[in-house]
Amino acid sequence: MYTLSSKLKLTAIILVIVGAIGLVYGFISTPSNEEELKELLAADAHGEHGGEEHHEASATTEQHGETADVAHDESVEQHGETAHGEGEHGDSHMEHVLHQFQTKPWSALFVSAFFFFMIALGALVFYAIQYVAQAGWSPVLFRVIEGVTNYLLPGSIIVVLIVIFAGTHFYPWQNHELVEEDVILQGKSGYLNFPFFVIRAIIYLIGWNVYRFIATRNSIAQATASNLTPYKKNFKASVFFLLFFVITETTMAWDWFMSMTPHWYSTLFAWYVFASVFVSAITVIALVTMFLKKAGHLEFVNDSHLHDLAKFMFAFSVFWTYLWFGQFLLIWYANIPEEVTYFIIRIEEYNLLFFGMIALNFIFPILMLINSDYKRIPWFVIMAGVVILVGHYIDIFLLVMPSTVGPYWSFGITEIAGILFFLGLFIFFVGTGLGKESLYPKGNPFLKESENYHY
Amino acid sequence: MSSHYEAPIREPLVTGEKTYHDISVEVGAPVLGRANKTWYVVFTLALIAFLWGLGCIIYTVSTGIGVWGLNKTIGWAWDITNFVWWVGIGHAGTLISAVLLLFRQKWRMAVNRSAEAMTIFAVVQAGLFPIIHMGRPWLAYWVLPIPNQFGSLWVNFNSPLLWDVFAISTYLSVSLVFWWTGLLPDFAMLRDRTTNEFQKKIYGILSFGWSGRVKDWQRFEEVSLVLAGLATPLVLSVHTIVSFDFATSVVPGWHSTIFPPYFVAGAIFSGFAMVQTLLIIMRKVVNLQDYITLLHIEYMNKVILLTGGIVSVAYITEFFIGWYSGTSYENYTYLSFGAATGPYAWAFWALIICNFVVPLTLWVKKLRRNILWTFIVALVINIGMWFERFDIIVIDLSKGRTPSSWAMFSPTFVDIGVFIGTIGFFFVLFLLYARTFPVIAQAEVKTILKSSGEYYKNLRAKHGDD
């Protein structure tokens, strides 16, 4: 029986508190009107700025406004604010920049919230797949995975609250004035309207958590059951969950990410988001398994299980890259104006992150995890895992930031605070989740196969 | 590889009280025995179809592409439809032999040999189309980057049609090597079992002197694993590249980022349907019901359900994003309201019914385990997946951006004849294969006999499984 050590609990609480303070600071320190914004931009022009060199080169706010225009036009288009005429550009520009600055803490909050939430969700999907596939190697890990998914409930509630309350910070189509001027957005209002958006979010929330509840309940019931009824129930539940998930994940990606730039669309998008969700989750399962094994709680897990997890990390890193490249190549190749804006802002304003992510998410994992022997060495897998997680944090960062704050992104107190806050929360909930039940999933019909598993 | 212990709740993969010897005898029987009359009848029919198709090809090449039903708007129709359809069919073979090997699915062992054969024969059919649909096929070698006397004039590496050349030729060669290495122990078995001197000689050559030493087996397994690891990304990338033929364009309906994974899922979907079609007949004809059991058929139906589900999600995505994009052109694409009601509505609904509605019946366990129904569904899917490619190609081209160039397509007898010819050619090859090759990887089936055979499972159930 595992118990979350008081040291770890304390660490988690400290992380949450420090993170919360940082986030509050982030929200307070946003400029509340254009005067403050101008001061901020002037200060930024002398100091360091996360953006491109031309931001730093501009000595005055006025110049800054102008030089940023080129890049800014892209993000204007992204936000669908095509209605702005040339004449009123100056004023509306500052208004727009102010809006982007005010969005920064929201985005920082959302990136971290979604990043940790998607780990719990992805772990749940992995769990369901193991059930449906009747995998013989993984049942020894079931309690670990159940523990990781313990974060699903708090994580999903927070994420849903953020997307509901973010309003026009994230979703320009929630701005009525904007929609009135924009024929394209009006055409989409059958799907992109606030009540339906909220209803969908709540359906996802309920569906995912209900499966998690049923699955863990049955899995625990199986430990004391005299027959395989709970197992069979779980098998069925997992099949229907996967069906539900593939549909809700698709619409979730459209709702929460794609509609941040409501003019832009890509059919692959949802599957691309899924790849990120899935590979991060498997990585965390591997990391938690190694942690518990090291602490002596998982004697029945051997290095073959680790080997398999590392293979999944490897394979789905490649899979993620495949989808990333598929989407990028097709849009780059055809170069259709409506579509390329998405990548133009990412390449121009986020160049290092955008391409650096490929190194972290693809090149590092394939070089580190291709060797069979290395996949059995915990510290090696941990190293690869950390790189993968950093890479996918950047991936989520790049899904959100360019669409919401445009060129005015930074990685500072607020963003780090977001990570710390949710990391603390994640450790706390996963730790307590792991401590609820014995880590040995007694009664599973494939348990013996799994314990004897050697590769 | 994996441990030999197997959970008792797993159903047996080899039924009956088989010994190693039984496996050799039963797998060897169709090769070492004689063909019956039915085989000759079917073979003759396939041969006639093939020869007819060959005639159509020769007619096309010697007369000109104009003998096909193509027009200036629709420059690709049956040719590329058939190409993509055949390539797609081939994918299940690699999926079964490579991806299922990586996932350690023991049930693949009874079906992988025939699935791979199917791959190779299907890719051969597919490979015909890129050549014969050329206006000047005798200059086809110009697609290769060979130094030459035109100031070393090279190809442009930006075209997905060139990527196709590399993809398909690599795919065929890797599949062939993968298949052949797997065949070595089985050819050796035939070499050792036959009493006919001529056969002994032939199988002696084909088996490359395989003697089954420990070191050989060790390397054999290693090579299989490495090839499986290479074939998996290969199989994904090959159909991805095929999908790029359309997706890199700016044609409404073709330009869609979901095409790469969606085509791959569709390929596996149609490929498995073809495997079902072939194996359901074969297990009966050559008496291999104990190896290709109902469980195998059910598993394959589950893969069909899975990939069919993925394809359905892609259909919905295409339909939704077509609307969501707000682009008026998207209303004429193959999955749009315009297509459902337009002149090609029959093709649209054929796609929906064959690929979405009918496969849904496989959710019912009784139907999933019903061989006749499986056979029907598999045939329907093969038709449906042909329509998917036809719809993507022809419907999207027929109503492009300029209404003045809208057109309809109707095939000529030559279009149809070439397609029938490839089906004939495919069956010629497959029927010859079924008579001369060990259709089940007996060496592999022997490795699971004691863990997954019915007899041994019963023994364990009786005496405990420790």
In chain B, which residues have their Cβ closer than 8 Å to the Cβ of A327? Answer: 257
Q: What angle do CA B141, B92, B109 make, to 5 degrees?
A: 120
Which single residue is written with the structure tokens 């936000």? A79
For B144-166, what is each residue's pLDDT tens digit?
999 999 998 999 999 999 999 99
DSSP letters for A65-106? HHHHHHHHHHHHHHTT-TT--STTHHHHHHHHHHHHHHHHHH
Q: Is A240 an 8 Å CB contact of chain B?
A: no
For A358-398, what is each residue's pLDDT tens digit?
999 999 999 999 999 999 999 999 999 999 999 999 999 99
| Of residues B336, B320, B387, the one with CA closest to residue B358 | B387
Structure token digits, residue B312 = 């359905």
d(CA B232, CA B99): 6
Q: Look over chain A and give the mean of its residue pLDDT values, rounded to a whole number.
A: 86
Contact B87, B80 (CB under 8 A): no
d(CA A425, CA B115): 50
Contact A197, A255 (CB under 8 A): yes
d(CA A128, CA A166): 31
Check residue A82 and give its pLDDT: 43
Return the SS3 of A198: helix
Whole-number percent of chain A with pLDDT over 70:
89
Q: Whole-model pTM?
A: 0.92
Q: Look over chain B and give the mean of its residue pLDDT values, rounded to a whole number.
A: 92
Sequence-ordered list of residues with C-beta below 8 angstroms from that of A176, at least 6 positions apart, any chain: none
Q: At what angle do helices B160-193 and B108-132 cross, to 10 degrees?
A: 140
Q: Where are the alpha helices (DSSP H) in B286-412?
A: 294-324, 337-341, 345-352, 358-360, 365-368, 371-390, 396-398
Does the beta-carbon distance from B257 to A326 stay under 8 Å?
A: yes
Contact A317, A279 (CB under 8 A): yes
Q: Beta-carbon neighbour count of residue A338 at 10 Å? A: 15
Q: How many CB pairs under 8 A join A and B?
A: 98
Contact B224, B101 (CB under 8 A): yes
Contact A113, A159 (CB under 8 A): yes
Q: Is A333 an 8 Å CB contact of chain B?
A: yes
In chain B, which residues have their Cβ closer than 8 Å to the Cβ of A366? Answer: none
- Region A35-43: mean pLDDT is 76
Q: How far is CA A330 from the centre of its chain?
A: 24
Does the beta-carbon distance from A269 to B257 stay under 8 Å?
A: yes
Predicted ipTM? 0.94
pLDDT greater than 90 at residue B326: no
Contact B242, B84 (CB under 8 A): yes
Check residue B3 and give its pLDDT: 56
Does the beta-carbon distance from A449 to B6 stay under 8 Å?
A: yes
> Residue A346: what are its φ and ψ, rounded to 5°?
-70, -35
d(CA A350, CA A345): 7
Check residue A76 and give its pLDDT: 44
Facing A334 at nearest CB: one of B1, B9, B255: B255
| Of residues B343, B268, B277, B280, the one with CA closest to residue B308 | B268
Whole-number percent of chain B with pLDDT over 70:
99
Q: List residues of B whose CB lies inside 8 A of any A CB.
A: 1-3, 5-10, 103, 233, 236-237, 240, 244, 247-250, 255-261, 309-310, 313-314, 316-318, 321, 324-327, 465
- Region B388-393: mean pLDDT is 94
- Region A114-139: mean pLDDT is 94
Does the beta-carbon distance from B9 to A188 stay under 8 Å?
A: no
Greatest alpha-carbon span in chain B:
79
Q: Which of A268, A274, A324 to mutate to test the interface with B (most CBs of B within 10 A)?
A: A268
In chain B, which residues have their Cβ closer than 8 Å to the Cβ of A372? Answer: none
Return the SS3 of B453: strand
Cα distance from A453 to chain B (closest Cα, Å)?
Answer: 6
Q: Beta-carbon neighbour count of residue B63 at 10 Å? A: 10
Which single residue is written with the structure tokens 């509306």? A92
